[in-house]
Amino acid sequence: MRSINDSDLPEQTVNFARGLITGLTSHKNEIDEQIIRFAPLFPLEQISIIDRNILRIAIYEIMFNDEIPVKAAINEAIEIAKEFGSDGSPKFINGVLGSVIANTNRAK
């Protein structure tokens, strides 16, 4: 498997990916707390890895990345859930993210 350092991706894409990874890892506990809070019927370990990571990325973008518009973060998360998640993933993702947004200071 090739690393991002060995890729032919544009520098801007590599920098975006690195920033996302750095941000996610530095805020993982806070992000997971949001998932636990707003999906109380689903223990974190029981949420599919795809849904869990879609939520992590979107919550990071909503809570910690002011460069990404909230609506864009939600729309992208739902589209990824439609493509890679189960039939119920888009609705689940949308519900959790809606609750996160309702409880943050970021404008919709």
Q: 101 CB contacts (<8 Å, ≥6 apart)?
A: 62, 70, 74, 108
Report d(CA 63, CA 73) in Å as an integer: 10
CATH class of 28-102: mainly alpha
Report d(CA 5, CA 83) in Å as an integer: 27
| Residue-range domain boundaries for the chain | 28-102
Overall pTM > 0.75 = yes
Q: What is the pLDDT along the chain (108 residues), one digit of tens a residue?
A: 567 666 788 888 888 888 999 999 999 999 999 999 999 999 999 999 999 999 999 999 999 998 899 999 999 999 999 999 999 999 999 999 999 999 987 655
pLDDT at 2: 63
Q: Are 108 and 71 in contact (CB under 8 A)?
A: yes
